[in-house]
Every structure is written in structure tokens, then in C-alpha cells.
Amino acid sequence: MKAYMIRSQRTIEPFGDHPGECLIVNKPLREHQIEALQGLKIDLVAVTRESEIKDQEEHLIFGDHLYFSPEFLKEFIAKSRRARGKTVAALKPGLGTLRTVVNSQEVTILSDRVEYDLRYVPAGQAEDKSQAIVIDPGNLQDGIPFPKHMFGAYSYNVPLTDKLIVQIDHWTNLWSANIATLLAEGARLRNGSKLRLLRLALKARSTNQWKVLRQINKIGRGCDIHPTAYIEGCTIGDNVKIGAMAVVRESVVGDGAYIANNASTELSVIGEHSALQGGTVVQYSVLYPGSLTTTHFVNASMCGRDSFIAAGAVATDFRLDGGYVTVMKHGVTVDTGNTFIGGCLGHGAYVGSGCILAPGRAVPNGLKIAVGDDRVLSGFNSGHEIEGFRVVTGNHGRQSTH
């Protein structure tokens, strides 16, 4: 069986990268496509247009911007064969489509399904009309605890499924595909054989989930990991340095990365040779290779290659008016349908101390942003009068201002 991938000239804002070059858990999308297909013994053939396909045997056709897990692909093919006709892949609407920001994808959204750029063609002649094969990702989910006034419930729920399909049409889709892939590992563990879980519990000498998660860590060669660091459910690359009291949980860390003393990362992707300085917290975020952050908190955000977030910079992730976060795509405002999305830095983008990035906003490649001159202490006159600031003087608690 062959799979024909239709090549395109798409690029993803703000990076300018082709979807096939975009990184998902530190690996280009095209490699994920090849691995998923090879696992099912399907040969990949790239074409520039569908009219080039002359195959009379059963085959697949998909766009080069499509990310799919092996589990999704396997179920789609099995159900398509039983349908005995042309089919198109679809996902049951729900938490999975919502959290992958379906509104910014170029998909067909219907009341009972979301159709993606993946089709099956049976052997021989078949009718032109395609039947939708709707995959149900299941109801397994996890919740991030929050006060009820934030999201209308006491948790912000995320799906736990290994049946993934996302069209990478925008940076929000790329971000969500990364996070969904990390969550899928948890789903595979929970849905795995009871014998494997028993073995892990015996190895951990405990049924505590965090102690069990430590048993599935994958640690690369040449790492320097402080004995007080906590590492749970992670894949750590080669030559990674992790400092004292650092916490690394359910994350993928690339080769040569540095996680300093007291830094932490949870459910995030840390790119090769990226660095989290002391005390930095990175959650639900994706850092491309060469990223550096010295700010206290990076949440639900994406940072391009060789980007920098300085101490005191803030990438906000929630609208105070309770509305959905919007993003820009090709100059048009898109409502994501989600209340919880951070910002995005393009490749080589810097955000200086004191800058605040609104939810859903993307900084273009190479742009370096600093606060205005009136907010920077760069000179002092003899009278200690500084525009935009006040100088506190006096003793015994008395204050006067200039």
C-alpha cells in the first residue's frame, strides 16, 4: 500500500517554515509522517498534484501539513476497508478538536464531525463521493485545577488520547500538536496492558503515579543531573544538564539543553541547547532549539528558534474580560474558541524586561522589543527628578516626592 502526499508551498506564521519542517516534540513533522506510515508498512510517495496519482491499488492521499498518530491512522484504514469505498478522515467534535484550535485549521467543520485532509481510495474504480470515517478519540481527560471563577469550573480540562490528527495551518496548531503528543504518552500508559503497569509498580515499589512515572524516564548519554532533581515521565536527550532541585515532569528535553537550579518544566517541549535559568517555570509550552528564558513564568506559549524572553517580560495567557483568545492568521482575526492560550515568539525574536505580550499574539521573526525610553532608568540629574518615576525621601516613614 502507498500513501501519496500532496506537496504545497504553505508556510506557518510567524516562523515562515513549511509545515513539514515544523517541530513536534523536537522532530520535524515530515519525520512523524514517515514513521507513522512505515509502522503500518505503507510507502510514502510525494507528488505536486493529485492528477499525478495513477495507482489502481488501495492507497491514501493526504496533505503535507497533516499530523497524525499511528493509532489514528491504523483505525482510519481499518474502518475505511470495511466501508468498501472512498473515505475521508474525520474526528468526532469535542475536547480534542477544541484544544487543537480547530478554528485556525483549514478543515471542514460540521455539526457531527470535523473532516481533515486525509483520504482513502480502495482498489479499482470507485465512486467520486467519499464517505466520512468518524474516529472517536474517547472521553479520557485530565484537569488542571483552577478556581471556578476563571473558567466556570474547578479545572481546565485537556483530552488524553493517542488518536491524534491535526492540520498544522497556524502556530496555535503546532503548539497544540506538541502538547497533545505529550498528553498522548499518558494515554498510552493508562490504556496499556495491566501487566506492564504491574511491572512498573513493582519496579517503583509503589502504586503512587509519580513514582511509577519515574520508571518510564528515558535519559540520554552524557547527562549531568543533580541528585536532588525530580524527573518524572520524561524523555531527556544527550548531554543535558539539570541543576539542584529542578523539576522536570512529563516533558521532552532536547540534546544539550540546560535546566538550572530550581527551574521547572511541566508538560512542555524544551528544544536542543535551550536554557531555563534559575527559578524559571515553563508549563504547557514549546521552546524551539536555542531558546533562552530568564523570566519567572512562561505558560501555554511557543518560542521560536534562538528566541529570548528576558527577566520581567510577561506572555499573558488569559483575557480578563472572559472572552475567547483571538489570533491573527493571514491578516484576519480568528476566534480560537479557547480561553487559555499564551503568545508566540518567532525565530530570533527577543522580548525585553517589562514587555507584556497579549494572549494569542505572535512576535515576528527577528524582532527585538524593549520598553520605551521613559520607562528605562538610564540617567540621573542632580535634582533626582526622573520623568515617569517618583523618588522617595525622608526618614521615620515620612515620604515626599518630586
Sorted by where each starts, the structural domains of the chain and their CATH numbers stand as 2-187 (3.90.550.10), 217-373 (2.160.10.10)
**Whole-angstrom distance, CA of residue 156 vs CA of residue 291:** 27
The confidence score (pLDDT) of residue 189 equals 82
Instruction: Give dist(CA 345, CA 352) in Å, integer.
Output: 12
123 close to 187: Cβ distance less than 8 angstroms: no
pLDDT at 262 over 90: yes
Identify which has the larger pLDDT, 371 or 261. 261
- Mean pLDDT (the chain) is 93
DSSP 26-94: TEEHHHHHHHHHHHTT-EEEEESSGGG----S-EEEEETTEEE-HHHHHHHHHHHHHHTS-EEEEE-SS
Give the closest residue to 69 by CA, choosing from 157, 135, 150, 156: 135
How large a percentage of the chain has pLDDT more than 90? 79
The pLDDT value given to residue 399: 46
Percent pLDDT > 70 in the chain is 97
Q: Are 230 and 211 in contact (CB under 8 A)?
A: no
Average pLDDT of span 32-52: 96
Three-state DSSP class for residue 360: coil
Q: Which of 76, 110, 113 is nearest to 93 (CA)?
A: 113
The pLDDT of residue 251 is 97
Q: Which range has the worst mean pLDDT, 96-105, 127-136, 214-223, 282-291?
A: 127-136
Question: What pLDDT, on a 0 to 100 scale, did the predictor assign at position 398?
Answer: 44
Q: Which residue do the cell numbers 517555570 mark?
A: 281
**Mean pLDDT, residues 380-386:** 72
CA of 337: how far to CAs of 99, 103, 325, 332, in Å?
Answer: 9, 7, 7, 15
Between 69-78, 157-166, 283-292, 386-395, the lowest mean confidence (pLDDT) is in 386-395
- The arithmetic mean of pLDDT across residues 307-317, rounded, is 95
pLDDT tens per residue, range 166-185: 999 999 999 999 999 999 98
Least reliable range by pLDDT among 184-198, 214-228, 337-351: 184-198
Is residue 387 predicted with pLDDT exceeding 80? no
